[in-house]
Each structure stands twice: as structure tokens, then as C-alpha cells.
Structure 1
Amino acid sequence: MSTLAIFGYGPGLGAGTARAFGRKGFRVAAIGRDAGAAAERVAALRADGIDAEPFTADITDPAQLTEVIGRVEEKLGPIEVAVHAAAAGIAVRVESTRAVDVASLEQPLALKVYSSIRLSRALLPGMVARGRGALLFSSGASEENLQPYLANMGVALGAQRAYVRQLAAELVGTGVYAGLLSIGALIEHSAVQEQVDAHPELIPDGMVLPRIGNAELGAEYWRMYTERDTVEVEIGF
């Protein structure tokens, strides 16, 4: 049985992806910062007949990321598919590109760029040696789909996009796939969806965000993993 590890597991993208892969026979490592939430979410997966284990780590902390990868592989075996699903709350946004400063980029870069790089560097040697595996990353609105009210996140997501594209090009012929799923809609049941519903003032006046189900996202990640016909996929824009 192959192992799927979801780094930044939540009730939106993480849950949808876990079910899509779990129903295809993958065991799931659900990695989140909150031990209680991780245990609850794994219990829900197990109730659906999916083999899953909870793990606790803040993936923006290099030591915790390294340590949790070791724990996952010791318990569940080599990670065949890694999903970088961590996302920032919308409250961290800077509402104008002209207002972006170095401080406002620290959290977005740590979450979407630095942890993506560290995750790849930790897992790629084993994947390449085995000749198989996949690194799947999540994104949102970046320079490809401008949304200036998320200016600082857009800068970080643009850097992440460039990294994944370059990585994918260098992995051709190794048996290892890297893909980026850019999501332009609110994910149902996600923490961000709950924040927006509770505080609609976080969204610019007149903007209506589309919504998307986590099952649809999980199915898209499964398609990307199995078909490997493109590096970047956009959904919900």
C-alpha cells in the first residue's frame, strides 16, 4: 500500500484529497498543527474506510518538518505522494501592492515558498532513487490571476509557481512528477471559507467569490497524479 502525506491537512483541500486517494488504496498521513483537529479528521476518514494516521507539525518550522517526515516514513513507509496544502488565513493579506513591505511577506513566503522548497529537498532524493513519486502543491491567485486585495500572498504564490515550474522541468525522465493546482474559489468547509462567511468585510465590496467542493479538488489532484500531462492546473477562476 502506498502512502499519501498531506502537509497542512484541513477540512477543505486536505479532506477532499485524502478521500480521493484513500479510496484508490492509499494510506493517508494527515499532518496539521493542531493535534486534536488532526485526530478528529483522521477519525472521519477511518469511518469512511480509509487507512489514515494523524501527525502534528508546523511545516513552516524546518526542524518540525524534518522530524514529521521521519515519523511518517517510519510508521507508514516511504512517502509516494506529498501534497503541500498549507494555506494562510485571509486576515494576513495586504490590501494593496503598494503597501506590501518585507514584513508582510514573511508569513506568506515561509508558508508557500520556503516550506515547499524544504519539503522537496527532503523527499526528492528518495523518490528519484525509487524512480517514482509525486509532489503536489496548492496555490491561489498570483501574478497569473491578479487579485491586488491579496497582494502579499500574490507575491509569494508567484515565487512558488516559478519554483514548481522549474522543478518540474528538471524532474522530466526521473519518474517523479511535480504539479501545481491553483484554486480561484472558496473551498467549502475550509478555514478560509468560514472566515469569509463570518467576516464578509474581508472581501472587496462588490466581489463575489465562487465556491468549490473539496471532492472536486481531490479528484483533480488524482487526475494530475495519474495523467501527469501538465504541470499547472487552474480551477475555480
Structure 2
Amino acid sequence: MTKTIAIFGFGPGLGMGTGRRFGRAGFRVAVIGRNPDKAHQHVEDLTAEGIEAAAFPADLTDEKQLRSAVDDITNKFGPIDVAMHGAAMDIGDRVPSTLDVDADNLRVPLEVKVYSPIWMTRAVAPAMLERGEGALLFSSGVSDRNPLPFLSNVGVALGAQRNYVRQLAIELQGTGVYVGLLNIGVLIGNSKAERIIDEHPEAIPAGLEIVRMSNDELGDHYWRMYTARDTVESDIGFPE
């Protein structure tokens, strides 16, 4: 039976790289993104490569829309075998100083990297646990363990997400449902962030070295995590 991967927060970077890698292995790809036009374009791009895909537009910071997307995917493709949460914040959502962090500017990071991953898990995990198989994949960055004041509010949210994922992995041991977190310390090829930084290099602190990696390479990392299932976390591009 053909398996399905649902990619929440599908973009031209991490989402496309992951969708392409799993699609080459025979997975159907459910594209979940906030912008309907972009979601349908991603589907067209995948279809052009011979990958079965469909768009399910949804704002992932809205629990009702996320759950509705899960229902629509299940109705069209059947059970979700792999759910990957790859949604990211815009550069404009960051706060350049820890002293400036407050409840207001934590709202978006928490919605995107804590609440939304939890909603995804609660929407898809029960069916996976009932079947005794499945995978929950998450994406993170470096600012939770490598303090970067110019990403201060982001780091707070990523720290909370990491703790949630690690706890989830412990709780689901032995159930057949794998939990994996890819900590990404690189600028992702073809991503919106790469385009913004290339157009506005002043958006990052002077002297900060940016390591780049293609979206296909990151898709390969997720595939290895999914198939090997031997680690909860994998770090890519972290400073030595």
C-alpha cells in the first residue's frame, strides 16, 4: 500500500527537499501551507517529477484549520504515515535583543514552533498509535542551545519545542511510532530565508558566517532519520 507523508508548513526549501525525497521512495505527498497558490504550485512541481501530491491549504497557527487539513488528507489519501512539521518564522518576526523579549513578540514563535507542532501531534498521533506504526518529524534551529541574541525570541520557542519533542519520544518508545527532530544550523537552499538574506545581507550580524545546504540534502537527512530510527535528534551545521 502506498504511504503518505504530510508536510506541515511546506515551502520551497525544507518542504520541497523532504517531499521530493520521500516522493522518490513512493510516498504520496500532502502539501500543507498557508498560501493556496504556493501550495498548488508546489504540487505542480512535485507532479512534474512523477510524484503524487495534493495541496491542503491551511494556516498552521489555527488549530481548527490544521485539524481540518488532517481530515481532508485522510479522506483523500487514507492514513498519514509520516507527519513532518517544517513551518518556520519570517526573519521579520525575530527580536534583535534579549532585553526586548516580551509576551507580545513571543506570540508568533510560540504559535509556529510550539503550539502548532503540538496540534499536529494531537491530530495525527492517535491513529498512528492505534495502527502501531508511523513517524512524527520536527524541525528546529540552533538558537536554543547556541545563544544568539539576535534570535532571542526564536530561541525561547525552540527550547520549548525541543523539550516537548524529547519528552514525546520517551513516551512513545516501543509503540511503533518514531519521533525525530532535525536541528538545522544552515541556510536552506531555495528557501525564503535564503532569498531574503541574499537580497538583504544586512539582515544578519556582520561577520556571521552562514553555512548553506541544499534542500535535497536536508531531505536526505530526514529520510535517514525515518528509516534508521536510531536517534531522536540530528544536528546539521552546528558550530564545532
Percentage of matched positions with identical amino acids: 57
Cα offset for 1:198? 1.4
Cα offset for 1:197? 1.2
The answer for the alignment partner of 1:164 in structure 2 is 165
Cα offset for 1:149? 0.9
Question: Could you tell me the TM-score, scaled by structure 1's length?
Answer: 0.98
Structure 2 residue 64 is matched with structure 1 residue 63: yes
Q: In 2, distance between residues paired with 1:154 and 1:142?
A: 5
Q: In 1, distance between residues paired with 2:231 and 2:97?
A: 32
The answer for the alignment partner of 1:230 in structure 2 is 231
The 5-angstrom pairing of residues 48-197 of structure 1 reads 48-197=49-198
Secondary structure in 1 matching 2:59:
coil
Secondary structure in 2 matching 1:56:
coil
- Paired residue type of 1:20: R
Q: In 2, distance between residues paired with 1:80 and 1:142?
A: 30
Q: CA RMSD in A?
A: 0.8
Structure 2 alignment gaps of length 5 or more:
none
Q: In 1, distance between residues paired with 2:119 and 2:31?
A: 18
The 5-angstrom pairing of residues 20-39 of structure 1 reads 20-39=21-40
- Paired residue type of 2:152: A
Cα offset for 1:44? 0.8
Cα offset for 1:93? 0.6
Question: Could you tell me the TM-score, scaled by structure 2's length?
Answer: 0.97
- Paired residue type of 1:135: L
Secondary structure in 2 matching 1:79:
coil
- Paired residue type of 2:111: A
Give the conservation status (yes or no) of the 8 Å contact 1:22–1:28: yes
1:55-106 deviation per Cα after TM superposition (whole angstroms, max 9, x unaligned): 1000110110111100011001110000001000111111111221111100
Cα offset for 1:54? 1.1
The answer for the alignment partner of 1:46 in structure 2 is 47
Q: In 2, distance between residues paired with 1:99 and 1:221?
A: 35
Structure 1 alignment gaps of length 5 or more:
none
